[in-house]
Amino acid sequence: MSPINFQKALNAEQLAAVQAPDGPVLIIAAAGTGKTRTITYRVAHLVERGVDARRILLLTFTNRAAREMMERAEDLVGAAVGGLWGGTFHHMANRMLRRHGDLVGYKLDYTILDEDDSRGIVRVVADGFGLLGKHFPKPDVLLSVFGLAANKELPVREIAAKQFEDHPIDIEDVLRVYKAYEGRKRQLNAMDFDDLLINGLKLFREQPSVLEKYQDHFEYILVDEYQDTNTIQAEWVDRLAERRRNLLVVGDDFQSIYSWRGADYRNIISFPNRYADTRIFKLETNYRSLPGILDVANVCIAGSPDQFQKELRPVREGSDKPVLVRCRAGEEQALYVIERIQQLKRSGYDLKDMAVLYRAHFHALELQLELARQRIPFVITSGVRFFEQAHIKDVCSLLRLIVNPEDELAFVRLTGLLPKIGEKTAARIFEALGRQCDLKTADGLKRLRDKLPPAAAAMWKEIEPIGLAYVSDHLADDPGEVIYRFVQTFYDEYAVETFENAERRLEDVNALIDFTTKFESCEAFLGEMALLTNLDAEMDTAQVTQTDALRLSTIHQAKGLEWSVVFLLWVVDGMFPSSRSMNESGGEGEERRLFYVATTRAKDRLFLCQPEIRRTRDGGVIPCEPSRFVTEIPPDLLKNDYVRFI
DNA sequence: GTTTCGGTTCTTTTT
DNA sequence: GAACCGAAAC
């Protein structure tokens, strides 16, 4: 590969950051200023300087970001970047805990609970205390309290007391559920997402020899989206980087939008205090958006005084202003968006150059209906994560149980597919089997069959051969084959009988089978599965980008992406800012940052849609006030448009 | 006592 | 769509 021309590829701000000498580095990178570019060139710079890629660690928050950076780095320096460690915090913690988890009290084949699993456990536990009736928080709420406590390293009591202060909820009950939940996870040898981080840190705190090993190994550590780190992640990185101190963090305190999950932008603010010799670089030259869009974004920044002040400087030229669209209600909003899209299409934009963003998934309901009716292709970065869909978890349950006979959750899921067996019966059978169920031997299979009711046993017989074949046909290194056989012998029919959209779901299953070929063993696949959130990010993105379709996305999921044209729905008080989040920790500040993230996704055109009313289910009408983020924008920075049809 | 089914309600954000 | 609730069916 020819040497990279850094001077040509980067501007002065970026170049300085890329060529920063060893030691702690903080890069404040505003939206659209080439953050990803800067990180990947930094990696390239290090590799070109002779650093072994295997000694570089690149931490990100999403699988997508990890993948994108790895690919771009590879494009730059080619195969030399192979072996680079890259991934999310959760992935890295998992990787280490799979090796050393025994030192913090887990068997190495622990299972990872996704949110659905966690919810199920909390529900059962709360039910056991007879708390499922009224006046007790739902599993989701309890989990968010537990999670916030975990990620901030605060006592559950404190978080719960604050969360429920105005409600007649007995905190002791909450704590009882919490303790039982923790105990149950232990019994299952399972970790939820938070446990991965907690135990990852515990490993570093309590096992100096392990910590030293990794400190020694990683010469350079780079952290993307550093503003989104929580206390645990920040300390984990600090410890890991302690010896070599080659820690480079990149972030934008103004794009911190995950405080509800424990992220604390003070980590980035205080970075220079923790590392006195920090070199700070600021990237403020925006390559993405037209000046009119940045004007609006800058107004938004100025509204929040307690952060690093920055001003986005446009490179591009043009006098177009963002458009404030007034319309009657959700239906008219949808019609407006579609009409504009058709018009922009005629003027040369592809559908894939356009996106509709919103605060919450349900904000796009009317639009989805209308797009479907008019047969305009669109893709949603969905709320339901691929690997958490019922059918995906179903088809993986057999594999899970074969690999790990003690996986009770898999057992309950699998046997629950059989007639006459629900949660209670399944749990009872598992208990009767001595809390394990070996499907790899004829004896183990028989023991299970004997305990099943007749109808279930008859159906179970179809599945049995797969367990034996797992051994005889050496399927341990072929997860896809196990799933395939399960579908052939059983699930195919089950799906058709159970789901009205069985065809679509079975397509998902086929995609899953294809996907497993990336893994060399069943264990490797299962060990990572829970951490993979959606297939789009993992599979060939080519397929998604090839088809010309409009993108619908929440603002959170749009972070880091860009489109020529962006529509922002429901920019009215109560929807955005969301009334539910206003009384929470981040409050208005976080909503404001979210608005900033939304506006800065747009390159050429930005439409802020502002319906006048919201229709309720029962036919009522709620008037909507304009969002405070719009009213604070000087009117001359915006164009106005009105919906004319009705 | 459990499972299954049908109807109702609600939907923030993610690893 | 899925989680929840109540009632019918096993």
**DSSP output for A7-37:** HHHS-HHHHHHHTPPSS-EEEEE-TTS-HHH
Among this protein's residues, is A536 annotated catalytic?
Answer: no
Q: What ranges in A417-521 are assigned the alpha helix state H?
A: 423-432, 442-451, 454-472, 479-486, 492-498, 502-516
CA of A500 to C1' of B5 (A): 15
> What nucleotide is nearest A132 when CA is compared to C1'?
C4
DSSP β-bridge partners for residue A85: A57
What pLDDT score does A201 carry? Answer: 96
What pLDDT score does A639 carry? Answer: 94
Q: Distance (Å, rounded) from C-alpha A433 to C-alpha A430?
A: 5
Q: Are A566 and A393 in contact (CB under 8 A)?
A: no
What DSSP character marks residue A453? Answer: -
CA of A638 to C1' of B12 (A): 28
> What nucleotide is nearest A554 when CA is compared to C1'?
B13
Among this protein's residues, is A489 annotated catalytic?
Answer: no
Among this protein's residues, is A599 annotated catalytic?
Answer: no
Structure tokens at A223: 């952290």
Annotated catalytic residue, options A114, A192, A225, A408: A225
Q: Distance (Å, rounded) from C-alpha A484 to C-alpha A477?
A: 14
Among this protein's residues, is A224 annotated catalytic?
Answer: yes
Structure tokens at A297: 């974004």
Q: What digits encode the pLDDT tens for the residues A292-322?
A: 999 999 999 888 766 667 788 999 999 899 9
**Segments of chain A with pLDDT less than 70:** 1-2, 133-134, 305-308, 382-384, 533-546, 583-586, 617-619, 644-646
Nearest C-alpha neighbor of A268 from the set A231, A298, A226, A236: A226
Cβ neighbours of A410 (radius 10 Å): 23
SS3 A338: helix
Q: Are A352 and A377 in contact (CB under 8 A)?
A: no
A613-615/A621-623 β-pairing: antiparallel
> What nucleotide is nearest A616 when CA is compared to C1'?
B10
Nearest residue to C1 via alpha carbon and C1': A384
Q: Are A334 and A607 in contact (CB under 8 A)?
A: no
Annotated catalytic residue, options A40, A255, A307, A600: A255
Nearest C-alpha neighbor of A481 from the set A517, A438, A449: A517
What pLDDT score does A546 carry? Answer: 62
CA of A466 to C1' of B13 (A): 41
Q: Is the CB of A362 under 7 A from strand B?
A: yes
Q: Are A321 and A516 in contact (CB under 8 A)?
A: no
Q: Distance (Å, rounded) from C-alpha A182 to C-alpha A383?
A: 27
Q: Is the CB of A617 under 7 A from strand B?
A: yes
Cβ neighbours of A391 (radius 10 Å): 21
CA of A387 to C1' of B8 (A): 27
Q: Is the CB of A118 under 7 A from strand B?
A: no
Cβ neighbours of A74 (radius 10 Å): 18
Residues, CB < 7 Å to strand C: A 116, 123, 132, 138-140, 384, 389-390, 420, 501
Annotated catalytic residue, options A55, A601, A603, A605: A601
Q: Are A159 and A170 in contact (CB under 8 A)?
A: no
CA of A364 to C1' of B9 (A): 19
Annotated catalytic residue, options A13, A74, A195, A224: A224
What pLDDT score does A540 carry? Answer: 44
Q: Are A228 and A251 in contact (CB under 8 A)?
A: yes
CA of A119 to C1' of C6 (A): 22
What pLDDT score does A181 carry? Answer: 93
pTM score, two decimals? 0.88
Which helix or strand (DSSP H or E) is residue A369 part of?
Answer: helix A365-373
Nearest residue to B13 via alpha carbon and C1': A556
Nearest C-alpha neighbor of A508 from the set A414, A351, A384, A416: A384
Structure tokens at A131: 């708390």
What DSSP character marks residue A633? Answer: S
Nearest residue to B9 via alpha carbon and C1': A617
Q: Distance (Å, rounded) from C-alpha A138 to C-alpha A167?
A: 14
Q: What digits encode the pLDDT tens for the residues A573-626?
A: 888 888 777 766 667 888 899 999 999 999 999 999 999 888 776 667 788 889
Strand C contact nucleotides, protein CB < 7 Å: 1-5, 10
CA of A120 to C1' of C6 (A): 21
Among this protein's residues, is A225 annotated catalytic?
Answer: yes
A12: burial class by Cβ within 10 Å (0-12, 13-18, 19+)? exposed
Among this protein's residues, is A255 annotated catalytic?
Answer: yes
Annotated catalytic residue, options A13, A14, A35, A610: A35
CA of A198 to C1' of B14 (A): 17
Distance of CA A38 to the CA centre of its chain: 23
Q: What number of CA atoms fall less than 13 Å from residue A517's CA on the CB side?
A: 7
DSSP β-bridge partners for residue A607: A323, A567
Q: Distance (Å, rounded) from C-alpha A6 to C-alpha A56?
A: 20
Q: Which long-range contacts (CB under 8 A, 24 or more apart) does A471-477 make?
A: A471/A440, A475/A522, A476/A403, A476/A521, A476/A522, A476/A523, A477/A520, A477/A521, A477/A522
What pLDDT score does A614 carry? Answer: 83
What pLDDT score does A542 carry? Answer: 41
> What nucleotide is nearest A384 when CA is compared to C1'?
C1
